[in-house]
Amino acid sequence: MGLGNIYRRRIRVFTLAVLIYLDYKATQQREKWISKNKQDALWKKAHERNAKRVLKAMVELEGLWVKLGQYLSTRADVLPQAYINLLRQLQDSLPPRPLQEVFWTVQKELGKSVDELFLKFDNTPLATASIAQVHRATLIDGKEVVVKVQHDGIKDIILEDLKNAKLIVDWIAWAEPQYNFNPMIDEWCKEAPKELDFNTEADNTRKVARNLGCDKTFNELKPLNTVDVLIPEVIQSTKKVLILEYMDGVRLNDLDALEGLGVDKQKIVEEITRAYAHQIYVDGFFNGDPHPGNFLVSKDPPHQPILLDFGLTKSLSSSMKNSIAKMFLASAEGDYVALLSSLAEMGLKLRLDMPEQAMEVTNVFFRSSTPANEASENMKILVEQRSKNMKKMQEKMKLGEKEVKRFNPVDAFPGDIVIFTRVINLLRGLSSTMNTRVVYIDVMRPFAESALQSNMIKDPTMSANWIHDSPILSDVEAKLRLLLLELANAGKILGIQVCAYKDGEVIIDTSAGNLGRYDPRPVQPDSLFPVFSATKGITAGLLHWLVDNGYVATNLDINSKQRSSFDIFWITVVDMLV
């Protein structure tokens, strides 16, 4: 890009941002002077006016701004309908690049002309996106394929767009500190350039296909939680050209065609969601760009989702994957301790100590999707809830009106979960666009559970680590440990701590098992458990009375004199077992 083009592009972006900002500020002021029954019409016109501005600029600028438009076009759950209607054009129908440019790139990358490589090459592209366009073709051996060809000069454009986006985010963070999106843009700057290498995309495609059991050469490697999706086979790749198997399908956003084929949209969206749950929670390797343009639905029954475009693919470490799964399940079960533990493990630091708000935010994040016609009402509820939360935070932190508006509750936001957050939001938007309702807690739960349970000790008797490595202080403790192993193998103990004194000396000090159903960390002597439980105390007291009066045997060969010395022992054991 020439220096003149760089500055023209930058001026275009910032002019648009300022224009839209001032337009909405002016609309806010006008709203105060008109009747309530005219306010909806006022805002509708403002949204339509600014959506047209955004679409026009994105088509002109291409590059990263098209990617942003594709993302926004799926957020029917949060954005005004005017934006959705216009920006969905960006999913696969941008103006195509000249054929001469396409042919030149193919020959330069593959070393042969289009005529030498293909029996047939369709001049009209199947789709044109931000980075490349796709043509249908037939190889010399007769195999039907699609050829993805990168736009000439797109790398420089993308890198320049990232710089401009970073500048805008910095400006927003300065003007409105509570809206600091720097962690998101930093992660985007790191991941987005990877899409420019189609060799990387080819490797990603093969890996995801193997993980989901779609790779024909790895049929014996079926995932535990199987998913019913298709992924095209990679035929050949270079840095700027990718040749894939052709799969005949209908665009996911072509609702009329899907209805004509009798496709169950609910089933399709749920299967796509399950495929992403497997990628995230089981594989820790997932496609970060699930907008409608990256999916097809096979025309032949049974109609299956076809997953495309694995350029932006995120890899999670084992610990981060487990932390995300733990966060999801803690939200599903309302487990505050596990939630705060998972947030700390993934590196998310909050500036306030309000566990109930952390749970509310997480529940909102994993909330069920809503059809587009319910999005407006749903957003009103979310806004009202956010206002209540801000009020609670203001009271707890003793902040003034201006201070609370500029307060950012997040102190550290780990880059690894930025793409994960984007994927969950895109999936929710996808569901809303398709007018379906997905209960993410139900659909994703089996995958999150399997991810964490794979780290749990399956057979305590075969593991030297199930019981904490500490010396055995008495014969009674040795017998107790055997009893705990029996109970664990019977599925009656998850984690336990036992400590008992006799005549002022510790005779039992045993810790064993895991901290929780979905928390594989081992119980240690200093692990903390909830201790206030009236029902457990009553049950422990009753059981102690039965033992003390000879109605229940202890099975630990403790005589009647010793029983009185084991009050604390029995209360502790029963408290953990009940």
Exposed (0-12), middle (13-18) or buried (19+): which is 451, by Cβ within 10 Å? buried
Compute the distance between CA of residue 198 and CA of residue 258 in angstroms, rounded to an integer: 30
End-to-end CA distance of the chain: 70
Active site residue 411: no
470 CB neighbour count, 10 Å cutoff: 12
The three-state secondary structure class of 314 is strand
Length of the chain (residues): 578
Taking the C-alpha atoms of residue 319 and residue 339, their distance in angstroms, rounded to an integer, is 15
User: Which structure tokens are listed for 543?
Assistant: 């059981």
Contact assessment for residue 439 and residue 368, using Cβ atoms and an 8 Å cutoff: yes
Helix (H) or strand (E) holding 512: strand 505-516
CA distances for 127 relative to 131, 244, 297, 433, angstroms: 11, 14, 15, 20
Closest CA to 55 of 79, 84, 14, 78: 84
Q: Which helix (H) or strand (E) holds 450?
A: helix 440-453
Helix (H) or strand (E) holding 241, with range, is strand 241-245
Q: Is 557 left (phi over 0), alpha (psi -120 to 50) or beta?
A: left
Distances (CA, A) of 486 to 493, 539, 573: 9, 22, 14
Q: What is the largest CA-CA distance in the chain?
A: 97
What is the CB neighbour count within 10 angstroms for residue 174?
9
d(CA 184, CA 195): 17
Annotated active-site residue in 77, 289, 416, 509: 289
**Angle, nearest 10°, between helix axes 416-433 and 440-453?**
150
Q: How many helices (H) and strands (E) does the chain have?
A: 22, 16
CA 440, CA 274: separation in Å to the nearest integer? 9
Task: Give dist(CA 338, CA 9) in Å, integer.
Answer: 47
3-class SS at 111? Answer: coil
Number of C-beta neighbours around residue 26 at 10 A:
11
Provide CB contacts within 8 A for 229, sequence distance 6+.
212, 214, 271, 272, 275, 304, 305, 306, 307
Report how far residue 42's alpha carbon sits from residue 47's, in angstroms, rounded to the nearest whole number.
9
- Beta strand 505-516 with 295-298 is unpaired
Tokens 């809830």 belong to: 385
> Which residues does the annotation mark as catalytic?
289
